[in-house]
Chain A
Amino acid sequence: MAQKLTKQEVKKIADLARVALTDQEIEKFSNELSDILEYVHQLQEVDTASVRATNQVTGLSNVLRDDVVDACSDPEKLIALAPEHEDNLVKVKEVFDNGS
């Protein structure tokens, strides 16, 4: 049986995933995520010691193309999609702490 996730663990996962959760959501997810983990835990009973992992199901590998520069979508339109933008630049909150 998989272990039940504590609220502390749920909070840690949410921090890693960069998702702000309400206390109510943390409570709810600690039950629901534990149920899901318990359900998928049955995979542990399959002996896979000598089995390779499938990453690509049709067997393609190393699909290459010529390294040539190609036109992309209109950059101005792409930047216009950003919630905050100015002078054809994407605007973000300060990245570095100003020594405060």
Chain B
Amino acid sequence: MPLNPQQLTIASARNGLQQKKFTCIELIQSVYERIRAHDGAIHSFLTLTEQDALPQAEEVDRKIARGEPLGALEGIPIAVKDVICTKGIRTTASSKILEEYYPPYDATVVSKLKEAGAIIVGKTNCDEFAHGASTENSAYGPSHNPWDMERSPGGSSGGSAAALSAGFCLAALGTDTGGSTRQPGGWCNLYGLRPTYGRISRYGLISMTSSTDTPGLFAKTAEDTTLLLSVLAGEDPHDATTLPSAAPDQDAHLGQSISGMTFGLPEEFFESDVEPSTMQVMDSAIEQLKSLGATFKKVSLPHTRYCVPVYYVLTPSEVSSNLGRFDGIRYGYSSKEADSLLEVYTRSRGEGFGPEAKRRIMIGTYALSSGYYDAYYKQAQKVRTIIADEVNAIFHDVDALLTPVSPHTAIKLGEKVDDPVAMYQEDVFMDTSVLSGIPALSVPAGFADGLPVGIQLMAPQLEEARLLSIAHQYEQATEWTRREPKM
């Protein structure tokens, strides 16, 4: 029977390779065969790297034949979001302004993947510069959700989620600035981990909101997520915001029991308009966790209702600064129509950026301009402090917070694309962790009308192991992660 990568996890593929059930070449070829068969419709990739991947796979097979020690991700096919720099591999950020950009260096997360032996399959589609929640802001067209091709896989890292869900890779890198890994994870039946801010280096991520940007991880099991985190976490001299604490020894924690843990249910999250079918999945998940020995209590986080407005002041402000580097001179698109230096700037940016990037540049420029800075940016940073203090205090009473990932299942493509404020509110459950710097994990928890529903776990800073341990116990007791989209 031909190898079906959709049925493999990192852990099972490692076993298969080591026990010579299949070769790395067979694995990588099966991945590209699937991509050729299905990605025309899904559009998860912008660039494929088959020419590099095949020789790498041959080398892995030679290493296995010679009995050499293997890296933690040796021979594992992984997809990388196109806002993450890959040396010599086109990196567009899904923008026309970087259409022909070939980075001269690897992001730290990419170097770490390579050191661990992973094979990069290609670069995945996303909202332009990661600005969005559906991939519809990509300059190259949206990605489709393998669970329902009329729907969005979520965003901004929607291409990575679609690719993993469709069996085009065994894990994928995204980024999570305001939910961009967890929300597509929830909509595609995947784990999506936003680590503690500073746990994984941002070096080589095309910057969006520097004070909340972080790499995000997509995987099919808690075990795989744990392995990825242990490979990627750690201090990096290239990113001064990385935390000095070493990468955690995750394996030790996966067996930890939920029994005796207290989960908080923030009542504000359940007052908003959560679809009844999503609430049903939530309720069953709570019952399941109770049967594993957890207790639940209602908690209140009154200022979390300001999370989205805080985020949509901080983000455009930092975006307007970070996108200032695109000047049509040093790299990226340069307008051929410009007659003066000033026009090189204005026309290259006017022609190169898409609508949402422009919107954010404009809002940010306004919010940071003289006379408005105190009212917008500074006020948002102060409200951020209130939110973070409130969240940190809650963890004196509970071990983790449990919420839905999204108030509803995957939206239809085109449903919200003309209403920026409605699209921003897609982040409603995402920004609490973002603003307080804590880790959060979306966990596959069931289905509503055939579409995946995710639950979100949050824990104090640096407590990723707690999240993954809870997820692992829950996963052992359920069967959601074993379901695959019919393709």
Contact = CB atoms under 8 A, between A and B. Distances in A.
Given A16-B365, A16-B369, A95-B341, A65 B237 contact: yes
Contact of A39 (B243, B350, B421): B421
Contacts of A29: 358-359, 362
Q: How large is the interface on B (under 10, 10 to 19, 20 to 34, 35 or more residues)?
A: 35 or more
Secondary structure at chain A's binding surface: helix, strand, loop or mixed?
A: loop
Nearest to A50: B382
B211 A57 contact: yes
Contact of B386 (A13, A20, A46): A46
Contacts of B65: none
A33 B366 contact: yes
Contacts of B363: 33, 36-37
A83 B333 contact: yes
Interface in A67-100: 73-74, 77-78, 81-84, 90, 92-95
Q: How large is the interface on A (under 10, 10 to 19, 20 to 34, 35 or more residues)?
A: 35 or more
B365 to A, nearest CB: 4
B345 interface: yes
Contacts of B383: 43, 46, 48, 51
B309 A56 contact: no
B101 A81 contact: yes
Interface in A10-56: 10, 13-14, 16-22, 25, 29, 32-33, 35-37, 39-40, 42-44, 46, 48, 51-56
Contacts of B211: 55-57
Interface stretch (B35-43, B48-56, B372-380): B372-380
A78 B437 CA distance: 34
Secondary structure at chain B's binding surface: helix, strand, loop or mixed?
A: helix
Given A36-B312, A58-B243, A92-B344, A81 B424 contact: no
Interface stretch (B220-228, B277-285, B324-332): B324-332
B95 interface: no
B313 A58 contact: no
B384 interface: yes
Nearest to A22: B350
B437 A57 contact: yes
A37 B345 CA distance: 26
B429 to A, nearest CB: 17
Interface string B297-337: 00000010010011011000000100000011111111000
A93 B421 contact: no
Given A33-B359, A82-B329, A83-B334, A53 B309 contact: no
A44 B313 CA distance: 12
Given A58-B241, A93-B339, 20 more contacts: A5-B366, A13-B362, A19-B346, A19-B361, A20-B343, A29-B358, A36-B359, A40-B309, A40-B380, A43-B306, A43-B309, A51-B383, A51-B386, A53-B381, A55-B211, A57-B384, A57-B388, A60-B241, A83-B328, A92-B341
13 contacts: A35-B421, A37-B366, A40-B376, A43-B313, A46-B303, A48-B382, A53-B378, A57-B384, A58-B241, A60-B243, A81-B104, A83-B331, A90-B330
